[in-house]
Amino acid sequence: MTKPGVALALVCALLTLSWRWAAADFSKDIVFTWGADRAKVMENGNLLQLTLDRGSGSGFVSKQDFLFGRIDMDIKLVPGNSAGTVTTFYLSSEGPEHDEVDFEFLGNVTGQPVTLHTNVFSKGKGGREQQFYLWFDPRLDFHTYSIVWNPQQILFYVDGTPIREFKNLEAKGVPFPKSQRMKLYSSLWNADEWATRGGLVKTDWSQAPFVSYYRNFRAGACVGTCSLDRAAAARMNSVRGKYMIYNYCRDTIRNPTPPIECL
């Protein structure tokens, strides 16, 4: 009988053989899901612009779906006063028991930090939010946000630095996304009822239109990044200690009994 650890290693090896790291062409590899008149593909398909105005926002989805691998995207967020706006970058399947892996960027007034909101859904159950202040202003330039997804864990990266790990703990009864293929979704929309300081700061429409940019969408195998080594784990713990501002595992009001994966 093949041991579980060996089986997972074989899966990763097969993924390495069957996937090729590929840069997407926005003009060919995505579809606008809404607000197509507010979105634009530029620079021969390498740069994409989403826009939010009083009418609505905009969004897109990848034509390809994925079952494990690594997804990278360079994103430049709405500059200046972005309060009330949300820019998203996430993987999701379909249906009431969908799986989902979220990056959401909650805008803020000029000079105040943008909140990076992360979440993981498995079999339709989410509620696993962790939030961070970034150690740079993501509105000034492009930065790389990555999701690594394999049978062992899901890893969230910012500019190559791991910030979160969600392990496969099915043996302890925690559902893990591993059987539903997911597509990449991104959007820019107005959520001023909750996005900035719990909805206290509203969108300043005199600043509209709001614009975010995407480039260098890359998808492929998790070659060399299927797990965290000791140095990477130390970097992750350092970032979490300095910049995490919310962790559902520590929210005793919402979770009087800590979820199994938090123990």
- Please say if 104 is a catalytic residue: yes
Output phi, psi for 232, to 5 deg: -65, -40
- Enter the DSSP assignment of 73: E
Residue among 104, 165, 170, 261 flagged as catalytic: 104
- Residue 32's alpha-carbon distances to 46, 104, 166, 186, 188, in angstroms, are 15, 18, 30, 9, 12
> One of 100, 165, 170, 261 is an active-site residue; which one?
100
Q: For 98, what's the count of Cα atoms within 13 Å in the CB-facing half-sphere? A: 12
43 is catalytic: no
- Dist CA 127 CA 215 (whole Å): 30
- The sign one gets for the Cα dihedral 28, 29, 35, 40 is negative
CB atoms within 10 A of CB 165: 17
**Cβ atoms of 217 and 73 closer than 8 Å:** yes
Catalytically active residues, by annotation = 100, 104
